[in-house]
Structure formats: C-alpha cells, structure tokens
C-alpha cells in the first residue's frame, strides 16, 4: 500500500509555526477516525482520546490527543485546493498501482489479450447538510472524477454557484487522461467539454440530449431505425430487476467539422430495457430508454456497453455508499471549507477501505474498525 502519511506530509500547513500538533499526525488521526465512523470534529477528537495508545503505534502525538477545537480550526484553515492537489497525486499513484496489478493478472489469464481503455466517470453530488448559514438553502455541490474499474475518486472540485459544467471542466484540466475514456452524465454533452477531454489526452463518450439540436437529430436519423438483429446485447438480473442493453455503433467521417465537435468520429445508440422480476410485478417491461453517444474513439458496441454501464458505478459505488454508509447528507457542516476538506477525507477512506480483502459490507468493516483494535491497526498499517 502506498504511504498515506506521505500524502499528508505534502499538504501545506496553514497554521502558525508554533502549532502543538504535527499536521500529518492530525490528518492521519482524522482519517483513522473517519474509517471508524466519525462524522464531525467532535467525533474525531473523541476517537483520538479513546484510541490514543493504538494511534501512538503509528504516530508520536507528543502532546496527547488533539482537541476538537484543534481539528475544527485546522479544517477551516486548510486550503481545499492544496489538500485536493496532494490527494489527487496520491490517488493517481494508487489507481495506477491497482491498474498495473489488474493488467498483470489479465495478462496471466489472457496472454494474447489486448488492454482496454480505463474509464473515468464525472458526476456531481450535493452535500445536503453542508449549508454555509441557516438562512441559505443551497448545499455545497462537489464534482468528482471516478476511476470506474478501481472504484476510486481521482479528483474533486467545488461547483461554485452549482455550476457543475464549469467544475467538471476544472476537474478534467487536472487529470492525465491518456489511455482513458471519459464518460460524464448528459449535462456535459457539449463541444467545450469534448475539447477539454481531448486536450488532456483522453477520449470521450458523451451522451447527446435533444438540446444538442442538429447533432442529436443527425444521430437519430443515422441510428433511429437500426436493425434490432444487428445489436450487441448484454443482460443482467439482480436485486429484483432484469435489465437488458443493446448497442449499435456507426462511424461518422466528417461530422467533427460539420458540427464543430472536436474529435467526433462515431455515434453509438444504446437502448436500455428493464423489468421487475418480483412475482407480483407487471409482466411487461418498462418502456425502453434510448440514448445517443458521441465518441471520439471508434469503440465496438460491446465496449460502448461496458463504458455506459461503468459510468453508473459513480452513483452506485460512490454517491450511494457515501450517503448510506457514511451518512454524508446527514452531516451538518456550516463552514464550506471544512465541508470540502472532510469530504475529501471521506472519499479517501472510502477508497482505502474498499481495497481491504476482509469479507463484509462497507458498513460492517467500518464498525469492525471501531470495535477491533487489531483490525483497525491492520487498516492503518496498509495505509502507511
């Protein structure tokens, strides 16, 4: 495991030179507390006092457990952009190490196989309890880049004034997207986002909505009457639901210039069909959903289905887990800077604990970390 304490050592310390507690030690304590279920600075300080002997196996904490005021002042003063930059560097190296391990395993399983592009999903999420003041109703909104295969957050940006499109382009500008296909949600199917992805060396798979006007209409004309017999199909049954997806892909030479859409070389159509498998559910399927996807790389239909399906992992394996296991929406944080910094810690904790091979849900692992010092020590050891 890569050294998380090295990540914290790279974060600029905003405090005075005579601060009693070392920054990297305070941040490591906060991360360990977050792994065990802490939500607020008071929770983190309580955890530090309760687990001080254990924590001193990893950090000195020469002046004892930091108080909740120490944690509160730090997270209000810590520059979220500087913290995110260190976080991003660590997560990029972490994802690369996991990706290399997966490629080595795939090479053993399929020596003659060819590597597939990694998938980076972009999406926004509101922290409903993070409202700057009681008189405002607009929560903090964050946009994250998500490594779909490794299930790791790669970068995070605050969407100021809830401008998710602007924040998404800021995130894109931070990333090395070589050998990656970027798949944002339909909000980002526009020329500027396409160009931003290409500038960072990536390929895009952008959902086209009706507001794309001529390009969307041309996609419908091209694939609207596609022969069902020629589609590539996948199906999946889980959680009381049967889902089937079909995909077609057509090359569109000259469309990049015709529609001013940099890099556009192919259009995909993806149909999704869904029905409940519960005994008392209606027999008929829901009406099919059809989406058109602009591609800057000619992918075969099976790969398009993989990319489109992988996009939803950001909802299922990040947003949902943060809300359910971490109860992120219920955390009341009035200071926006504190909320951003603690959100980064939660995303780091989510990524790290998911790599632990112990059987059990994320909720179970977090409880076990809080109850069992040996298990928590193993988690912290993996982070060093």
pLDDT at 103: 67
Q: Is it the case that residue 1 has pLDDT exceeding 60?
A: no
For the chain, what are the domain ranges? 4-80+335-383, 116-319
pLDDT digit string, tens, across residues 241-284: 788 999 999 999 999 999 999 999 999 999 998 887 776 656 56
pLDDT at 132: 57
More confident residue, 369 or 113: 369
What is the average pLDDT across 66-75? 97
Q: Is it the case that residue 384 has pLDDT exceeding 70?
A: no
Q: Within a 10 A sphere around the Cβ of 361, how many other Cβ atoms?
A: 11
- C-alpha distances (whole Å) from 93 to each of 84, 131, 200, 290, 354 are 14, 33, 17, 37, 16
Mean pLDDT of all residues in the chain?
88
What is the average pLDDT across 103-131? 74
How many residues would you count in the chain? 384
pLDDT at 271: 94
- Written as six digits, the tokens of 61 are 């904490």
Per residue, what are the HEC states of the chain?
CCCHHHHHHCCCCCCCCCCCCCHHHHHHHHHHHHHCCCCCHHHHHHHHHHCHHHHCCCCCCCCCCCCHHHHHHHHHHCCHHHHHHHHHHHHHHHHHHHHHHHHHHHHHHCCCCCCCCEEEEEEEEEECCCCCCCCCCCCEEEEEEEECCCCEEEEEEECHHHCHHHHHHHHHHHCCCCCEEEEECHHHCCHHHHHHHHHCCCEEEEEECHHHCHHHHHHHHHHCCCCHHHCEEEEEEECCEEEEEEEEEEECCCHHHHHCCCCCCEEEEEEEEEEECCCCCCCCCCCCEEEEEEECCCCCHHHHHHHHHHHCHHHHHHHHHHHHCCCHHHCCCCCHHHHHHHHHHHHHHHHHHHCCCCCCCHHHHHHHHHHCHHHHHHHHHHHC
pLDDT at 281: 59
pLDDT at 29: 95
pLDDT digit string, tens, across residues 72-116: 999 999 999 999 999 998 888 888 887 776 666 655 655 554 568
Q: CA-based angle 379:382:384, to the nearest 5? A: 115
% of the chain exceeding 70 in pLDDT: 90
What is the average pLDDT across 314-341? 89
pLDDT at 383: 58
Confidence of residue 137 (pLDDT cuts 50, 70, 90): low
């Amino acid at each position: 495991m890569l050294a998380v304490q090295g990540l914290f050592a790279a974060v600029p310390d905003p405090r005075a030179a005579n601060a009693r507690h070392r920054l990297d030690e305070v941040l490591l304590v906060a991360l360990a507390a977050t792994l065990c279920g802490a939500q607020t600075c008071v929770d983190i300080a309580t955890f530090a006092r309760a687990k001080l002997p254990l924590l001193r196996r990893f950090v000195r904490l020469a002046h004892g457990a930091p108080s909740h005021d120490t944690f509160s002042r730090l997270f209000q003063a810590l520059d979220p952009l500087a913290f995110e930059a260190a976080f991003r560097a660590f997560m990029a190296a972490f994802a690369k190490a996991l990706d290399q391990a997966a490629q080595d395993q795939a090479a053993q399983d399929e020596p003659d196989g060819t590597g597939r592009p990694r998938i980076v999903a972009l999406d926004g999420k509101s922290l409903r309890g993070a409202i700057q003041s009681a008189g405002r109703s607009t929560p903090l909104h964050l946009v994250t880049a998500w490594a779909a295969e490794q299930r790791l957050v790669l970068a995070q940006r605050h969407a100021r004034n809830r401008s998710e499109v602007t924040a998404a382009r800021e995130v894109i500008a931070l990333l090395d997207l070589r050998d990656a296909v970027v798949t944002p949600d339909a909000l980002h199917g526009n020329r500027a986002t396409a160009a931003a992805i290409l500038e960072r060396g990536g390929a895009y798979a952008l959902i086209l909505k009706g507001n794309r006007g001529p390009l969307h209409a041309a996609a419908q004309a091209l694939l609207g009457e596609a022969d069902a017999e020629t589609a590539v199909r996948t199906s999946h049954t889980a959680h009381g639901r049967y889902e089937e997806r079909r995909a077609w892909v057509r090359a569109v030479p000259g469309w990049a210039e015709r529609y001013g859409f940099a890099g556009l070389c192919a259009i995909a159509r993806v149909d999704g069909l869904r029905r409940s498998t519960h005994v008392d559910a209606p027999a008929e399927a829901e009406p099919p959903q059809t989406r058109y996807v602009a591609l800057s790389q000619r992918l075969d239909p099976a790969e398009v289905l993989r990319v489109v399906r992988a996009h939803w992992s950001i909802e299922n394996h990040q947003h949902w887990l943060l809300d359910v296991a971490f109860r992120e929406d219920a955390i009341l944080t009035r200071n926006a800077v504190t909320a951003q910094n603690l959100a980064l810690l939660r995303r780091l904790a989510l990524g790290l604990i998911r790599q632990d091979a112990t059987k059990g849900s994320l909720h179970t692992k977090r409880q076990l970390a809080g109850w069992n010092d040996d298990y928590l020590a193993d988690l912290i050891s993996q982070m060093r």
